[in-house]
Amino acid sequence: MRLLNACLLAMFLVASVFIMRSAGIATSLDRWLWEARFGIDHRPVSGEIVLVDIDARSLDSLDVWPLPRRLYGQLTDELVSFGVQDIVFDVDFSAASTPEDDLLFAEAIERAGNVSLAAFVQKSGATGSSGEVVNLPIERFLQNAWPVVVMVPMEDDSRIWRNLYGFEISGTSELSAAAFLGNYSGATSGAFGLDYSIAIDQLTRVSLVDVLEGSADPSVFAGKKVIVGASALELRDLFPVPVFDILPGSMIQALGAETLLQDRAMSERGELIALLFASAIVLLLLLTKVEGWSIKVGILLLAAISLETVAFGVQNLTPVLVPTASAYFLLFFAAVGVILRELGFHKVLSHIATVRRRNSERILGQVFDDSFDAIVVLDKDGKITAANQTARKLFRDETLTGKSARSVLPAALVEEAEIALGSDLNRQPVPQILTLADEGTKRKFVEFVVTRSDKTEVSTRRTGELETRAVACLTCRDVTDERESAERLKYLAQFDPVTNLANRNELERELSRKMKSANDSSQDLCLVQFAVSNFDQIVATLGFSYGDRVRQAIASRLKNHLSQQITWAAMSADVFAGVYLCEAADERDLSLIDGIREVIGEDYTVEGARISVQLKFGCAFSEGSIGPEDILKRSGNALAKVRRDDRKQIIRFEPAMDTALQRRRKLETELFKAIARDELSLAYQPLINLEDGSTFGAEALLRWESREFGTVSPFEFIPLAEENGYIVELGSWALNRGMKEARTWQKRLRLSVNISPVQFSRDNLVATVHEALERTNFPAELLDLEVTESLFIDESEDLNFHMEQLKSLGCSFSLDDFGTGYSSLGYIANYPFAKIKLDKSFVRQSLASKKDVAIVEAVLHLAKGFDMSVLVEGIETREQAQKLKELGCPMGQGYLFGKPMSSAEFDLLVAKAA
């Protein structure tokens, strides 16, 4: 009878396990266990495979996707030169690109002779019989390359557990990339399990851009098999996998190859043996007279541990994955049965309920004691029945519980608790603020709320009866930091924290108040802003701390000497503003501003350093019904204007400034549209050989014919473009247009194009010039790049490097407007100049002045010493040309030979002269 019951119970347990297996629960557990075993095991990679990675750094460096196929051809040649054994591209080549690029890649494949290309099948979204799209490399590539399958099957848990040996594509069985790299020679059908204990994250990976740029170590590739694939996130060739979470497709192919190379193609076996072992253990327990549920459960647990140890050992020694989940479920159900049988179902439920209650009490007690809020519970007699750790710290008493509330708590709290105890349960608690003295004069702010609750407990007077007692719960929170932060934020919303002067927001409010006072008293309002124009130099020289000290010293003088009449504010790090009332008059009295300049302009001594400040003032007066924003804007406009004027220190706002500013803003907006609207053009001024009067080239001059403003002078829009950085686009356009039009001229002439210093600092000028030369097929040796002396105010190694790179392209450099700017002779020898252009200011009245002649002769002698030629600008008379010729000047430019003209007019002029 005992044997029959045991067999029936065993059959029931096996049926339960079968249900778990059918529902997929056992499969999920098996995969979790396999992944855990893979994670514990560790196998190094064979070292026979190298991954060339199209990573994020490669994409950033190359700045293009899809990559041009000429780059893949270059990569193939590089890898062949390294002596690689095989090259597999996990890249889609199923569509043609440009004929030139495809040809370059195909030739590289033919030269290599060891290239394999990706082939795969995709599900089609369109309706059709097959529902699949076959992606094979284009025929040109397949003439000298082998297709390999790069698809991987995804399991129902959306992860990759297997790889393919091969796949039939278009009626032909093709080997997979993993099988090809893994030296597999069997049937090209079916799949094999991947061994995730192989540390594929230690695979040798080399960035694509390192190979292309020649910085990769050739010895890494010698005799190795190479996979070229993408890991960059934006390319989305990523798959979820066990152990490693996410792997690129190319690394999954590498893992498949490593699995085959190490003879670790995983297969699932041994589930029945594991299940029989578990069943035998369960039957033995049922048939023996082992007493005690804990012993039986221990035996079942030991059996599970033994089974897992064996399964791990089998997986470690052989490529076999043992499904043990079914056996574990059988042992688990048996353990549950033992517990229920030994303890009884109700006993188990009671035990579970008791454990839950104890856990809840423990958790609630912990939450109560660890709460950020201070919590104190008082009973009807005014005694403290409970207090958490925060309350003990707040009220500085480690033994609150059991004490009278009036002896340890503030009276206000106790009174509120007594009121709550005497009220009904529906009373709504109201948060209140209590102020406490803390450590001398410092105050502490405590927010508290009192709530009433009823507690049910066993009566001490009548046995077995329950009684209800009211308790008051005080919840307190120290909000001192919050109060201080709020006050600090309120202060920062109105004042500058470094100078303690009003900030812009507070100044606007003060402007509104003073404007109302001015209107009531028939006075005017003056707003003066002054800037410390050398503040950046002070900070750059001495540091930010000194900058703050200077600002504080300025603010101190403003408050101590000039605060009676004026309300001061700090607008920014280097700008201060003051507002005051003045008497209305036609001629504004600016004597007060002179006084401000005298007080603030005196030198400062900061930590032993004597600091001089350079001040610029802009002011505006209230006129008509203007508001705070208007007068702020006007004084700001005046300050902006005076900061650009090297001669003045004080400028009062005039309506014309606003008009000029509006024009400047509109010009800036229209300038951004000029290229798209085809409003720009180039004018060409002849460059003349003074010896024979022949034209050897032309200087390209940028012109703008705006739809809204008409003809705009370059002296107006070029500085504007340099300030906003748009000169980069304008310069690129001028280079391309100038070289394109110069190519149409009947004679091969030199072309001079002006280059702004901004193009050197903000643009990759070398690439811009190189692309323009290639696009227009203009000879580089005929291109002169004209730069001004302002370029060398901030000399740097990068500047010399870029100029040398441009020179290596074949271009020449001309130093424009020589003698009017920086005029340091040091940089002439340090930079690759071929020509000096002497400014037109030295060609006056037929060079009658001995000083002008002396300058020209000096420049000619200087140029000869540095093996440079000289071109003089601004020649307007024959006498000037003759004199320059006599002095030995070889080249000239000016209205005598021709004003700036269109490309067609210039070409016609040259043709007639010939």
Query: Per residue in 542-559, pLDDT tens?
Result: 888 888 999 999 999 888
Rounded to whole angstroms, how far apart are CA atoms 144 and 115?
8
Rounded to whole angstroms, how far apart are CA atoms 166 and 43?
25
CA-to-CA dists, residue 491 to 246, 435, 554, 579, 647, angstroms = 51, 22, 20, 20, 39
Residues 6+ apart with CB under 8 A from 827: 792, 795
Contact between residue 785 and residue 817 where contact means Cβ atoms under 8 Å apart: no
What single-letter amino acid sits at 359? N
Regions of the chain where pLDDT drops below 70: 1-24, 124-131, 289-291, 341-351, 361, 424-427, 438-441, 456-466, 563-564, 584-590, 624-625, 792-797, 819-827, 844-848
Max intra-chain CA distance, the chain: 138
What sign for the dihedral angle of Cα 637, 643, 648, 650? positive
Rounded to whole angstroms, how far apart are CA atoms 790 and 870?
19
Rounded to whole angstroms, how far apart are CA atoms 878 and 885?
10
Q: What is the 3-state secondary structure (H, E, C) of 655-685?
A: HHHHHHHHHHHHHHHHHHHHCCCCCEEEEEE
Q: What is the pLDDT of residues 753-787, one digit of tens each?
A: 999 888 887 778 899 999 999 999 999 999 999 98
Rounded to whole angstroms, how far apart are CA atoms 561 and 564?
8
What sign for the dihedral angle of Cα 724, 725, 730, 733? negative
Contact between residue 29 and residue 331 where contact means Cβ atoms under 8 Å apart: no
Query: pTM of the full predicted structure?
Result: 0.44
342, 329, 331, 330: which is closest to 298 by C-alpha?
331
Domain boundaries 495-653, CATH class: alpha beta
314, 283, 285, 316: which is closest to 298 by C-alpha?
285
Residues 6+ apart with CB under 8 A from 20: 26, 325, 326, 329
Q: What is the CATH number of domain 370-484?
A: 3.30.450.20
Strand partners, 49: 225
Residue range(s) in the chain whose domain bears CATH number 3.30.450.20: 370-484
At 191 the pLDDT is 93
Rounded to whole angstroms, how far apart are CA atoms 226 and 312?
33
Q: How far is C-alpha 769 from the chain's CA centre?
A: 29
CA-to-CA dists, residue 575 to 60, 108, 554, 734, angstroms = 41, 64, 11, 39
Q: Say which CATH superfamily domain 671-913 falls into.
A: EAL domain (3.20.20.450)
For the chain, the distance separating the N- and C-terminal CA atoms, rounded to the nearest angstrom, is 127
At 459 the pLDDT is 59
Give, as one character, the DSSP assignment of residue 436. E
Rounded to whole angstroms, how far apart are CA atoms 495 and 489?
10
At 586 the pLDDT is 43
What single-letter amino acid sits at 567? T
Residue 473: φ, ψ to 5°: -110, 115
Contact between residue 814 and residue 832 where contact means Cβ atoms under 8 Å apart: no
Residue 280: φ, ψ to 5°: -65, -40
Residue range(s) in the chain whose domain bears CATH number 3.30.70.270: 495-653
Residues 6+ apart with CB under 8 A from 46: 258, 261, 262
Rounded to whole angstroms, how far apart are CA atoms 34 and 242?
9
In terms of C-beta distances under 8 Å and separation of at least 24 residues, what long-range contacts does 220-223 make, across chains too? 220/50, 220/82, 221/50, 221/79, 221/82, 221/83, 221/84, 222/82, 222/83, 222/84, 223/83, 223/84, 223/85
Rounded to whole angstroms, how far apart are CA atoms 209 and 885?
56
At 588 the pLDDT is 52
What sign for the dihedral angle of Cα 845, 849, 852, 858? positive
